[in-house]
Amino acid sequence: EADIYQTPRYLVIGTGKKITLECSQTMGHDKMYWYQQDPGMELHLIHYSYGVNSTEKGDLSSESTVSRIRTEHFPLTLESARPSHTSQYLCASSDLQETQYFGPGTRLLVL
Amino acid sequence: AQKITQTQPGMFVQEKEAVTLDCTYDTSDPSYGLFWYKQPSSGEMIFLIYQGSYDQQNATEGRYSLNFQKARKSANLVISASQLGDSAMYFCAMREGGEDMRFGAGTRLTVKP
């Protein structure tokens, strides 16, 4: 069973605020990912990491940044939140078979 | 070009009946993996089943099976004996070579009592 956690689950915040979405996994997976998903729509990869000190941008342009200082931790930061950032953010990590296991997601609403 | 195509935006099935969710993919890489995920209204993505391109047999996991037709590049998900809790969005995904995983647009399944 996958053990991957995201906090907060829900966040309502005002425009211009800085926010950090937390993601951690206890499976020792090297690869981790962040996706953005609007309700009922497909997932868009915004960031990924192949291991400590490795971060790459995904297909969807995003104003967010990520860091990977520890294997188990992959936080995503928005320096200045805007209403266009309102979405669900899903974190995942993958095993050697490349199966991705997802966290419960963070639903972000920027007013 | 779209790598993963799910042509059914929505599907309905009667409880206890079987349902097939369609997925076609596009790749020229001989080595790839195909995945199905379930996303209930709560939002989390739940891994259901995996099929490798070199696997000779169709993957099965409990009530889920993957109808893998390599020549047609299709990887349909079959859910047998549908339950009300199966109502959710279902996403097909593919990973090829060193590329990132690509997801389809999803199919919303509704199980009727």
How far apart CA B22 and CA A89 sit, in angstroms, is: 26
pLDDT digits 0-9 by tens, A56-86: 998 887 789 999 999 999 999 999 999 999 9
Q: State the average pLDDT over residues A7-24.
A: 96
Give contacts of A48 with chain B, Cβ < 8 Å: 100
How far apart CA A18 and CA B51 sit, in angstroms, is: 41
pLDDT digits 0-9 by tens, B16-69: 999 999 999 999 999 999 999 999 998 999 999 999 999 999 999 999 999 999
Classify residue A70 by its DSSP letter: B
How far apart CA B5 and CA B66 sit, in angstroms, is: 16
* A41 with B106: Cβ contact below 8 A: yes
Of all residues in chain B, the percent with pLDDT exceeding 70 is 98
pLDDT digits 0-9 by tens, A39-53: 888 899 999 999 999
Token pair listed for A33: 């990912």
Give contacts of B50 with chain A, Cβ < 8 Å: 97, 99
Q: How many CB pairs under 8 A join A and B?
A: 54
Rg (CA), chain A: 13
Query: Is the predicted pLDDT of residue A2 greater than 80, yes or no?
Result: no
Three-class DSSP category at B65: strand
Classify residue B47 by its DSSP letter: E
How far apart CA A16 and CA B8 sit, in angstroms, is: 39
pLDDT for A1: 55
Q: Over chain B, what is the mean pLDDT?
A: 94
First vs last C-alpha separation in chain B: 39
Amino acid residing at B110: T
* B100 with A58: Cβ contact below 8 A: yes
CB interface of B with A, residues 40-59, below 8 Å: 42-47, 50
pLDDT for A93: 96
Option in A48, A100, A107 nearest B43 (CB): A107
Q: Which among B23, B45, B110 is the top mutation candidate for probing chain A, defined by the most A β-carbons within 10 Å of its own β-carbon?
A: B45
Query: Is the predicted pLDDT of residue A97 greater than 90, yes or no?
Result: no
Give contacts of B93 with chain A, Cβ < 8 Å: 100
* A92 with B46: Cβ contact below 8 A: no
Classify residue A98 by its DSSP letter: -
The contacts of residue B45 (CB under 8 Å, 6+ apart) are A43, A90, A92, A100, A102, A105, B37, B38, B39, B91
How far apart CA A36 and CA A25 sit, in angstroms, is: 18
